[in-house]
Structure 1
Amino acid sequence: MQIGIPDEGSHHLTVVAVVKAGNVSVAATYTFHVGTAGLVSPLAGEDVGHQVPLAAAGPGDLTGATFQYRRADTDAWADIPAAQVTAADSKAVVWPATISGGKLSGLLWDTGALPADGQLQIRTRFEGDDSPAPSEAVSVTLNRVDVLTQLIDLDSIAEPDTAESYALDAAEGRAEADPDVFAPPYLDDGTGKIVAPVTDTAAAPEAGATITLTDIPLDQGSDDGSAEGDPDTDVDAPAGEDGVADPIATQDTTITPVTEKVGHSQAELQSITDEVLLLTEDDIPGASQLVTAAIDAENNRVVVEVPAGNDMVADALGQRYGRDTIAVRVAPEVAALRSSAGRYSDVSPFRGAAAFRSIIPRSDGNFTEYRCTTAFPWTHEGKPYMLTAGHCTSGNGYMDSWNPEVTYAPVAYDNWNNSKGSVKLAGKSYYSGDLSTGKVIDNKYSVSARIYKGGPTGSQTRRVQDRWTTRSKVGQKFCHGGSTTGEVCGWKVTSGKQTVKYGDGTILKNATRAKKNSGTCIYPGDSGGAIYTVLSNGHIYAKGVNSGGLCAGWGIGSDGNDDGWNDDKDCSDATDWDCEILFTDIKLAEDALPGLVKKW
């Protein structure tokens, strides 16, 4: 067999064997060179990214090579700056680089200094006795995955009003109901419009159909914790707690989304989010560095976070999923993301945002204990329950009050595998974050629709007037109540439906992420705590359940360690980065678990 090779340089020949039955063998690929000397890498027509492998080959008497590039035929050739190239041993490169035995490989060109993607031509200029002319030019396409290094600017994130939140929730419901042709919707900060993208223009009329909102609240509270509310004077939980919540001001309105055609559907982006943190080093080099993944609806892509810059990871993700489908954010603080499982004299009727002991039986007959925080009193079929985070408990465990210590609730439902992370509850097709409920021992103990406020040792409480019935939206503000830090306000949502790999390897799925720039953060023992907004009357709307977060890495404490226990808990100082918190929306909790938040 003769194969015509039209151009000099290096080529790949792929060979398969086909038997009479039509079975095809595994492909074998051979690299060979035509001509006197030329490029081995990259090959003509390739897409290249942040890191471009450079290699050349030629006669054995060649002594050196210099790699050059240009944008177009009309441009002059320029040496690739040696400072942008590293050798296999990470040493600096000097042109001409030494060729040994006619081969030069293991060089990586960092293309970060090139201002724009597009066409590139690359060639090699050789050195040595009777050295050949420069190699034939190889044309490649520079197509880099976006690497984001800027910090999230909380002040630039607008808070949506109630109508926008409800309308966006409805648009998200449409996308989840038909995920193959709908894409994740978003609120356009510039126009104030709900944008409902589609991958097929035939679906545009359905995506852009008017959303009718009826009896939605005018106000669901804020992150202002200064409102006092009414005092908690009840010894027993009042009978009216399970009744209808107090009347509130509502509104009726309609919102019509605008549509646009995009390349990636809800199903495609969600599948990437679900898979990417499960990748191993065998799948892509550097996979172990991947910490979070979330859909960036406005840009129709998935954003993955890593603690340190790694262009090789970015290129590998782009090759796997498509360079316009994924972006990488370099965020050093995510290295410290962890669950915060580790106020103190809560008695029946038990309240939310209180310390409790999680008792987990072990196979040796002993028990493991953790301090966590209750979120909200819960009710199901008229019986009392308590809601907290799933990673605080186990299916065969118990919830004990802190002081005095009494066992008041065996665990009833738990959606967290303590070695893997979020799991789907029976009968549910989706992940529901990090949740657990304990069934309070009826006729012996009860719960009250209140949560603790003030500092870690505070005894005053807030009344749970109602709960959020939509998922959290970017820009919304809230407070958090934990047994370590007490009531901390000033949080702002930065991302929803997030997938996060904690430091212990467990993976949190379908979570909301929020941040604050200064003040007290969350700390060990706050896990399971209450996420809520405060109304002007001091009552609260339940919003979520704390899973974990960081004040990266919780600062350096007085003992010289960064474990958080002796830190000043202030993320404003030089030893800390911004605070972050991860939580499960209360709407998701009520959808996934039997029962609902107890209100009064």
Structure 2
Amino acid sequence: MVSTLPAAALASAGYQRGPALMSPQPPDVKTLPEATALALDKARKLAEQHPDDFGEPWVDPETGQVVLGTVSGTGNRLAADQGKDVLRRPVTRSKAVLEKIKDGAIGQPAADLPDAAAIRMTRIDAEHNRVIVTVNRATDAMLEALTARYGADAFAVEVDPAFNPSKSSRYDDGPHNWGGGAEMTIHRAPSGDVFGCSSGIPVWLPGEKSGMLTAGHCVPTGGYIFNGADTNYMGWVSKNDRENWTDGRGSTLLPGQSVFRGDLALIEIPNATSGYYIYRGSVANPYTAIIGQLAPRRAGLGDEYCNSGFKTGELCGWKVYNYGINVSYSGGETVRNVVAGYKSGKCTGHGDSGGPTYFVMSNGRVQVKGVHTGGSNLDGSGDCREFFTDVWDALDAFPGIFPRVLP
């Protein structure tokens, strides 16, 4: 039975019954010795002739030997005739079953699956006796439907946003609403004044609703948010309970709270979703990364991180040098209880406010750390300071939210 809990709850509870999720890896193709290649070809032909008795054969990368999975007594007998060059191994799914999954999870046979257009490639993972489904974005509904159809251990999901030929830019993001510095056009209430900021961290809201964290000073009186092109509606921020900033003053306390939580706003996305990705890269050539983790703790001294915003793009090389600080901005407003980072080189710029701070993990996914509020030497270079609201303060500020992650 597939759980209907949102990804946030599953991740928080350490729930592991869903399909395996993986990041794309650069190909590492090695030429097989001719004898091995011939033995593999022979095993493949045998499996094709008897698809109900064998799994898909493969070459063990450590031993260099051909492995032929068997699912029946007939398979065991036929495999024994292949000689010492082929190892036998019992498997659960036959080649016939794997091919059925491979063919059924893509194209027209998969048209009834939620978000089927995002499924771009399927292939057999012979070593693990499963199918890998490559998607350019993953949704809970898609994963649950695939799991209900095939079983969680019958396939793995490779999430590769680069497979999307119509991938949005920072400027025209939507309707899946990725974080990481997509440009947002904000119509502040009640004046209707237009303001530009960056999207931050995609989150779950209570009730399995989608949301997005950004900076409170972007929406200090609430308002309506569109993409940078002002063509796709994202959502709205309600005054006071979904933002903690007052123009001319700075950070304010949220209702019922006694601790300042930096500079935050929570966008509710009523008619679309927020994705599991953030934008990385330059302004001119952005790409996306999967949000793989919530920072396991609050930011500490010496932590390294990056930030991303629509004005400057991605900047890495920051190191935390203080936290829990209050900063008085040039306009007289004070941001309270934020983390401070330092680096030399290119600094953040006006318009980067609301973008995320994050750590890039070894697998290419990102660990979200916070939401950018401001810095020093904006739009310049040299000695740079950067200030962000810790993501753990965001969780305390808005109880029940959780970053959208694909662990």
Q: Which residue in 2 is equivalent to 1:597?
A: 403
**What is the identity, as a one-letter code, of the residue corresponding to 2:398?**
L
Q: Which residue in 2 is equivalent to 1:526?
A: 352
Distance change in 2, residues 1:417/1:239 (3 Å): same
Task: Report the CA distance between 1:235 and its aligned residue.
Answer: 6.3
1:479 pairs with 294, 301, 306, which one?
306
1:398 pairs with 207, 212, 224, which one?
224
Give the secondary structure class of the aligned counterpart of 1:591.
helix
Q: Which residue in 1 is equivalent to 2:140?
A: 239
Task: Report the CA distance between 1:445 and its aligned residue.
Answer: 1.2
Taking the TM superposition and a 5 Å limit, the aligned residue runs for 1:216-235 are: 234=135
Task: Report the CA distance between 1:487 and its aligned residue.
Answer: 1.1
2:211 pairs with 385, 396, 399, which one?
385
**What is the identity, as a one-letter code, of the residue corresponding to 1:434?**
D
Give the secondary structure class of the aligned counterpart of 2:281.
coil
Task: Report the CA distance between 1:468 and its aligned residue.
Answer: 1.1
Per-residue CA deviation, residues 470-496 of structure 1 (Å, 9 max, x unaligned), is: 221111110011101111100011111
Q: Which residue in 2 is equivalent to 1:450?
A: 277
| Contact 1:529–1:545 under 8 Å retained in 2 | yes
Q: Which residue in 1 is equivalent to 2:186?
A: 358
Per-residue CA deviation, residues 283-320 of structure 1 (Å, 9 max, x unaligned), is: xxxxxxxxxxxxxxxxxxxxxxxxxxxxxxxxxxxxxx
Distance change in 2, residues 1:236/1:478 (3 Å): closer
Distance change in 2, residues 1:456/1:494 (3 Å): same
Distance change in 2, residues 1:229/1:357 (3 Å): farther
Q: Does 1:466 align with 2:272?
A: no
Task: Report the CA distance between 1:517 and its aligned residue.
Answer: 1.7
How far, CA to CA, are the matches of 1:360 and 1:546 in structure 2? 20
Task: Report the CA distance between 1:436 and its aligned residue.
Answer: 0.4
Q: Does 1:410 align with 2:236?
A: yes
Give the secondary structure class of the aligned counterpart of 1:438.
strand
Identify, as 1 or 2, the structure richer in helix: 2
Task: Report the CA distance between 1:429 and its aligned residue.
Answer: 1.5
Q: Quick check: which has more Rg, 1 or 2?
A: 1
How far, CA to CA, are the matches of 2:143 and 2:266 in structure 1? 18
How far, CA to CA, are the matches of 1:587 and 1:241 in structure 2? 29
How far, CA to CA, are the matches of 1:405 and 1:411 in structure 2? 18
1:436 pairs with 255, 259, 265, which one?
265
How far, CA to CA, are the matches of 1:383 and 1:368 in structure 2? 27
How far, CA to CA, are the matches of 2:193 and 2:142 in structure 1? 34
**What is the identity, as a one-letter code, of the residue corresponding to 2:403?**
V
Q: Which residue in 1 is equivalent to 2:376?
A: 550
Q: Which runs of 5+ in 1 are unaligned?
A: 1-215, 217-227, 244-342, 555-563, 573-577
How far, CA to CA, are the matches of 1:515 and 1:471 in structure 2? 17
| Contact 2:183–2:310 under 8 Å retained in 1 | yes
Q: Which residue in 2 is equivalent to 1:419?
A: 248
Per-residue CA deviation, residues 361-415 of structure 1 (Å, 9 max, x unaligned), is: 345xxx2111110111111121000110000113431111112522221104101
| Contact 1:229–1:462 under 8 Å retained in 2 | no
| Contact 1:394–1:411 under 8 Å retained in 2 | no
2:172 pairs with 345, 354, 357, which one?
345
Task: Report the CA distance between 1:230 and its aligned residue.
Answer: 6.5
Give the secondary structure class of the aligned counterpart of 2:394.
helix
Q: Does 1:369 align with 2:194?
A: yes
Per-residue CA deviation, residues 257-303 of structure 1 (Å, 9 max, x unaligned), is: xxxxxxxxxxxxxxxxxxxxxxxxxxxxxxxxxxxxxxxxxxxxxxx
Q: Does 1:586 align with 2:391?
A: yes
How far, CA to CA, are the matches of 1:410 and 1:396 in structure 2? 7
How far, CA to CA, are the matches of 2:396 and 2:143 in structure 1? 19
**What is the identity, as a one-letter code, of the residue corresponding to 1:593?**
F
Question: What is the total number of aligned residue pairs between the two structures?
Answer: 249
How far, CA to CA, are the matches of 1:430 and 1:465 in structure 2? 29
How far, CA to CA, are the matches of 2:296 and 2:259 in structure 1? 18
Give the secondary structure class of the aligned counterpart of 1:448.
coil
Give the secondary structure class of the aligned counterpart of 1:453.
strand
| Contact 2:205–2:211 under 8 Å retained in 1 | yes
How far, CA to CA, are the matches of 1:516 and 1:538 in structure 2? 22
Task: Report the CA distance between 1:425 and its aligned residue.
Answer: 1.0
| Contact 1:237–1:447 under 8 Å retained in 2 | no
How far, CA to CA, are the matches of 1:511 and 1:589 in structure 2? 11
Task: Report the CA distance between 1:459 and its aligned residue.
Answer: 4.0
**What is the identity, as a one-letter code, of the residue corresponding to 2:233?**
T
**What is the identity, as a one-letter code, of the residue corresponding to 1:403?**
A
How far, CA to CA, are the matches of 2:386 and 2:143 in structure 1? 30
Aligned-residue CA RMSD (Å): 2.5
Q: With structure 2 as the length reference, what TM-score do the two structures score?
A: 0.57
Task: Report the CA distance between 1:241 and its aligned residue.
Answer: 9.3
Q: Which runs of 5+ in 2 are unaligned?
A: 1-13, 15-22, 27-117, 121-134, 145-169
**What is the identity, as a one-letter code, of the residue corresponding to 1:516?**
K
